Structure 1
Amino acid sequence: MKIVAVTSCPTGIAHTYMAAEALEQAGKDAGHDIQVETQGSAGSDPLAPEVIAAADAVIFGADVEVRDRHRFDGKPLVEVPVKKAISDAPGLIAQAVELARTAPAPGPAPALASKVTTDASHATRVRQWLMTGVSYMIPFVAAGGILIALSFMIAQLAAGKQGAILVTQIPLTEVTQNFDVTSGMHWAALLFQIGGASFAFLVPALSGFIAFAIADRPGIVPGFVGGSLAVAVGAGFLGGIASGFIGGFVALWLARRKVPKAVRSVMPVVVIPLVATFVTGLIMLIVLGRPLKWVSDSLTDGLNGMSGANLIVLGIVLGLMMAFDMGGPVNKVAYTFATTGLAAVGNSTDATQLKIMAAVMAAGMVPPLGMALATRLRPALFSEPERENGNAAWLLGASFITEGAIPFAAGDPLRVIPSLMLGSAVTGGMVMGFGSTLRAPHGGLWVTPLIGGVLPYLIALVVGTVITAFAVVALKGLRTRAAVADPALVDA
């Protein structure tokens, strides 16, 4: 059989490539010819049209929309979340082969349709639409957050503790008209202005690409305009999510209308953007703006009002979520909560949202680091492939790629996952208790200079890593001792 596949995850960093590798290996082991297109954060190298044309079946392992999916129309299709492609690649290969042999080829898809398959459940489609918006938003968060954090760092070096406040008061005209290359504060102000401009696109990008996932290109204009209006009325990222869905569904409804042939050519460039944008703007400004602003303000006030034990409990919960499925839906909920919260921070250097981001990143680093340490502490408890994965997990953990722990959890979930959750929960609670802050949404140890309260942050990370490693070693050691006492328990 000739099989083609596409893998894609919300962040486009780890799951995308791990799924591709798993599918390629499973296809090779089963004796099939498989080629995989990875649609990651660095873009993609599309499969050649002749390769797609010759394929007997298609596999989509994706949590976001597959770009240009119309290329695969008419081919038997297996579509699953990206994590399924990692954990059960042989099963997907077998399913694709069986489908190619028995199922009739589907007819061509409509010219304008949702970017998510219509046979998926409603919950799956909503999650994919939302994750598409988040995946396109994250680069804006990363660029803006890191630039602003660097600006504060340079300002503090140039003007002391008050530098972070002073840099926010330097007007744009001062940077553009009187820039002094020898002034540290001017460099800090330059970085701050560029980072602020990147941050200004957070909500519009979230909204625009949710609408894009729903309606394809006709959804981009109403989505972006709706997101901008959500910012203007103070509805924040909640307003961006709402406007994305409104703009997407209005555009999709219009795109599916049967219109006279004379009007058809101007529908995508005039009628759809005009009507969809007007309807989206009307709903956002007149109907949803005030209620969503109240909800957004209440959420922000509630987070900023949290202190002491409440913050620690929140950190523990976020840590549990980050480790539970290591990059899966629960992990992504916690990560999205942290990154979207950065949009509401503004110029603050001590907002609760910055503490949440620090806790989430530290907790997400613990699982691979803990497993890497465990393979060093008791290598005899792990297979040779697991020990090799342990060597790679050091770098993956240091880079905040939680998925580095997946190979260990897949082989022994009942012992590994609770250990990971324990260590991450402790780290998340400690980071929140220490009050460490972080504006960068990704980077792991490579963005350590941007962490506020870096020493306690690193202490929390080390403590969680050690706890995870010792818990894994202890639980695996119990299994080994039980197996020695009774060989029938070796597979328990």
Structure 2
Amino acid sequence: MKFVAVSSCPTGIAHTYMAAEALEQAGKAAGHEVHVETQGAAGSVPLDPALIAEADGVIYAADLDVQGKERFAGKPITDVGVKKAVHDAPGVIAQAVAAVEAARAAGTAPAAGAAPVPVAVTPARTVGVGHRIRQYLMTGVSYMIPFVAAGGILIAIGFLIATVAWPSNGAIEVTKVVDGTNGAAFAKWIADGFSFTSGQSWAVLLFWIGKWAFAFLVPALSAYIAYGIADRPGIVPGMVGGFAAGLVGAGFLGGIVTGFLGGFLALWISRWKVPKGVRGVMPVVVIPLLSVAVVGVLTALVIGPPMKALNDGLSSWLSSLSGGSAVLLGVILGLMMCFDLGGPLNKVAYVFATTGLANAASTSAAPAKVMAAVMAAGMVPPLAVALATAVRPALWTENERESGKSAWLLGLSFISEGAIPFAAADPLRMIPSFMLGGAVTGGLVMAFGSGQLAPHGGIWVLALISKPLLFLLALVVGTVVSALAVMAMKRLGQGSDAEIADEAVTRPTVARAA
């Protein structure tokens, strides 16, 4: 049979492409042809309409709403989550084959190559309210992350240059040269004060470009939560609501609230039954006018004040952390980062760290230390499996050993998802081992006081991290602890290395999907 598929995950990075490769390989192994469209963070290349027309069935391996569903009308559809495709691609292929055969038996599936008809052949999977809310939230996070990454790294580079350009206190001096939020003042500085040969000038310019990118963090989060709920009509009220939330001091918590408010409000208005003459102006006038007005008023008068108090309290608590309380926070964040490897709990910890960076003036600030702890802990799982497969190769299948080699680069680049194939194949032994190492690393980073303003990059942004040697020490210790735990758990209740290897060969594995 021939299948077309769409894969997508909340962040549009690792799971999206792992699912695509797993489906293609599982299809080939079963004698079928599978073509996958990845709707990820790097955008997507739509499937050739000819491939869709020739396909016997369609597979949705998606945690987000599939874009362009109308292209597949009339085809038998198998709708699963992205993790199902990563963990059990052969099972998904078998399910898709069964759906096609059932549709043919019922006489509802068009022949391959025939024009699709607007008939819903297979019902989509039932998604609960909690899962939907998670989808909406993670849609916002996925669109927010590029703003965080670009802005945070540019701010960190600006600070790095400033430490060289100013003999002392460069991190403070770079913020005093000009107010980048004042357009007239900044334009005057560019005209009269900027020098192409001055390190100070470049430090100030890069710092403020990063701050501008960071300024879109809450509006982007809010806008794309609303987009996930209401599609395009949700973007405007979500964007304005997020901007207002930032303006009144409600922070990212306020942005989450305005995103849901703007999205559901726009969705409700878009479903109004109106006369034909009004339909044309609904999306360009009525929906944005009403939704922006309501969201703006509620943000200023109702949402803003309590969210500002909560945001201020959170910032104050972070700033007050020291000693054992700081270490405990690092341990908790390390556990969260390593529990679901790119899933909701991991992303909660990551968003908590990145949104705090907006209030960090230097790498010695509490939010910068939190960011360093989160990033170091997130690097541990793939590095731990890479080390374990290198030290005790007899414990692993050939595919797992090969995946272990690629996990070195993924771990060093702060891509926690590199350990997912191992966690998926053996969760009860792998996940606790990862969490142990992540907790050790997170706690040590906080104890050492290492900080960073770059929200991503892993080992490649080491120059932007304060106390880099202590940061590396924490990472190495946590990785070794986790790798030892992985190997010990693999041996727990087992026999010799050869017997464990035999068990590994018979165990279903998706390691090659990485």
TM range (shorter): over 0.9
Residue 156 of structure 2 corresponds to: 149
Residue 83 of structure 1 corresponds to: 83
**Taking structure 1 as reference, are residues 27 and 156 closer, same or farther at Cα in structure 2, changes over 3 Å only?**
same
Compute the displacement of 1:466 (Å).
1.0
Q: Which stretch of structure 1 is more off in the superposition, 350-359 or 369-378?
A: 350-359
Residue 238 of structure 2 corresponds to: 223
Q: Which amino acid aligns with 1:53?
A: A
Task: Quote the RMSD (CA, aligned, Å).
Answer: 2.4
**What is the distance in 1 between the residues matched to 2:245 and 2:208?**
22
**What is the distance in 2 between the residues matched to 1:23 and 1:143?**
32
The 5-angstrom pairing of residues 263-342 of structure 1 reads 263-342=278-357
Residue 113 of structure 2 corresponds to: none
Q: Is 1:382 the counterpart of 2:396 in the alignment?
A: yes
Residue 429 of structure 2 corresponds to: 415
Residue 166 of structure 1 corresponds to: 173
Q: Is 1:206 the counterpart of 2:213 in the alignment?
A: no
Q: Is 1:137 the counterpart of 2:144 in the alignment?
A: yes
**What is the distance in 1 between the residues matched to 2:66 and 2:168?**
47
**Taking structure 1 as reference, are residues 434 and 63 closer, same or farther at Cα in structure 2, changes over 3 Å only?**
farther
Q: Which stretch of structure 1 is more off in the superposition, 206-215 or 334-343?
A: 334-343
**Taking structure 1 as reference, are residues 483 and 381 closer, same or farther at Cα in structure 2, changes over 3 Å only?**
closer
Residue 35 of structure 2 corresponds to: 35
Answer yes or no: is the 8 Å Cα contact 1:175–1:186 preserved in 2.
Answer: no
**Taking structure 1 as reference, are residues 249 and 462 closer, same or farther at Cα in structure 2, changes over 3 Å only?**
same
**Taking structure 1 as reference, are residues 232 and 70 closer, same or farther at Cα in structure 2, changes over 3 Å only?**
farther
Q: Which digits, 9 at most, give the CA deviation of each residue in 1:3-23, with x for residues without a partner?
A: 221122233222211111111
Compute the displacement of 1:484 (Å).
8.3
Q: Which amino acid aligns with 1:456?
A: L
**What is the distance in 2 between the residues matched to 1:128 and 1:484?**
43
Q: Which stretch of structure 1 is more off in the superposition, 25-34 or 327-336?
A: 327-336
Q: Which digits, 9 at most, give the CA deviation of each residue in 1:156-198, with x for residues without a partner?
A: 0111331110111111232343211111110000101111110
Answer yes or no: is the 8 Å Cα contact 1:23–1:90 preserved in 2.
Answer: yes
**What is the distance in 2 between the residues matched to 1:470 and 1:479?**
16
Q: Which digits, 9 at most, give the CA deviation of each residue in 1:378-404, with x for residues without a partner?
A: 111222111111111111111111121
Compute the displacement of 1:336 (Å).
2.3
Q: TM-score, structure 1 length as denominator?
A: 0.92
Q: Which stretch of structure 1 is more off in the superposition, 187-196 or 97-106?
A: 97-106
The 5-angstrom pairing of residues 46-85 of structure 1 reads 46-85=46-85
Answer yes or no: is the 8 Å Cα contact 1:153–1:450 preserved in 2.
Answer: yes
Q: Which digits, 9 at most, give the CA deviation of each residue in 1:326-358, with x for residues without a partner?
A: 222222222222223333x25344332221211
Residue 246 of structure 1 corresponds to: 261
Q: Which amino acid aligns with 1:254?
A: I
Compute the displacement of 1:118 (Å).
9.0
Answer yes or no: is the 8 Å Cα contact 2:395–2:498 preserved in 1.
Answer: no
Matched residue pairs, number?
484
**What is the distance in 1 between the residues matched to 2:68 and 2:466?**
42
- The correspondence for 1:189, drawn from 191, 204, 212, is 204
**What is the distance in 2 between the residues matched to 1:484 and 1:247?**
59
Compute the displacement of 1:264 (Å).
0.7
Q: Secondary structure at the match of 1:5?
A: strand
Q: TM-score, structure 2 length as denominator?
A: 0.89
- The correspondence for 2:377, drawn from 340, 363, 373, is 363
Residue 112 of structure 1 corresponds to: none
Residue 464 of structure 1 corresponds to: 478
Please list every run of 5 or more consecutive structure 2 residues that lacks an aligned counterpart in the other structure: 110-116, 179-185, 508-514
**What is the distance in 1 between the residues matched to 2:75 and 2:479?**
46
Please list every run of 5 or more consecutive structure 1 residues that lacks an aligned counterpart in the other structure: 110-116
Q: Which digits, 9 at most, give the CA deviation of each residue in 1:244-300, with x for residues without a partner?
A: 111111111111111111111111111111111111111111211111111111111
Residue 397 of structure 1 corresponds to: 411
Q: Secondary structure at the match of 1:481?
A: coil
Answer yes or no: is the 8 Å Cα contact 1:226–1:247 preserved in 2.
Answer: yes
Compute the displacement of 1:487 (Å).
13
Identity level (%)? 61
**Taking structure 1 as reference, are residues 121 and 471 closer, same or farther at Cα in structure 2, changes over 3 Å only?**
same
